[in-house]
């Protein structure tokens, strides 16, 4: 009951900063659409993230994954799972789904190559080859996260 009350409050209190809504009538599955930060290779991209909320939320974090394909060291290449400390050890009931969206946008600007889920992206950054990393991230953004002009 506390989970449902909290999620209803989050649904009412959300801002227009992100498109963040529950999926259908299910309060336990949410989707967010975030903009890639302008200071990153993800600029001009729109990325869909899925949150699966556990029954003991907000005392346990949701599972989060990118639906949109993305090249990033902290995002699993195949599953879209996200490696972010607040989704694991640093979780607190003070966090909300909207705050998680902000943290994920920040992660796009400041990837952490020390705990990669995508080893190729992590290796590029650790080797100091930011040109290769930015090129791959930009290519994936253009291919999968930008609206195409079909004319």
Q: Give the start-to-end residue ranges of the domains of the chain.
A: 2-144
Q: Which residues contact 147 (CB under 8 A, 6 or more apart)?
A: 46
Domain 2-144 belongs to what topology?
Ubiquitin Conjugating Enzyme (3.10.110)
- Residue 141: both structure tokens together: 């953004």
Mind listing the pLDDT tens digit of every residue in the chain (151 residues)?
789 999 999 988 877 788 999 999 999 999 999 999 999 999 999 999 999 999 999 999 999 999 999 999 999 999 999 999 999 999 999 999 999 999 999 999 999 999 899 999 999 999 999 999 999 999 999 999 997 633 3
8 A C-beta contact, residue 95 and residue 131 = no
pTM, entire model = 0.93
Q: Strand runs (DSSP E) across 6-111, as ranges? A: 19-23, 26-35, 46-52, 63-66
Query: Any catalytic annotation for residue 83?
Result: yes
Catalytic one of 83, 86, 113, 136: 83
* Whole-angstrom distance, CA of residue 140 vs CA of residue 42: 9
8 A C-beta contact, residue 28 and residue 42 = no
8 A C-beta contact, residue 20 and residue 14 = yes
Burial of 115 (0-12, 13-18, 19+ CB in 10 A): exposed
């Amino acid at each position: 009951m506390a989970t449902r009350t909290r999620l209803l409050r989050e649904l009412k209190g959300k801002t227009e900063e992100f498109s963040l809504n529950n999926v259908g009538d299910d309060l336990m599955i949410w989707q967010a659409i975030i903009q890639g930060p302008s200071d990153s290779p993800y600029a001009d991209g729109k990325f869909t993230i899925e949150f699966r909320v556990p029954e003991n939320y907000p005392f346990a974090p949701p599972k989060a994954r990118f639906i949109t394909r993305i090249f990033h060291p902290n995002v699993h290449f195949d599953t879209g799972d996200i490696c972010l400390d607040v989704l694991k050890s640093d979780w607190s009931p003070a966090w909300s789904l909207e705050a998680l969206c902000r943290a994920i946008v920040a992660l796009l600007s400041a990837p952490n190559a020390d705990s990669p889920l995508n080893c190729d992206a992590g290796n590029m950054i650790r080797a100091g080859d930011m040109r290769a990393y930015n090129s791959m991230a930009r290519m994936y953004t253009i291919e999968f996260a930008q609206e195409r002009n079909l004319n």
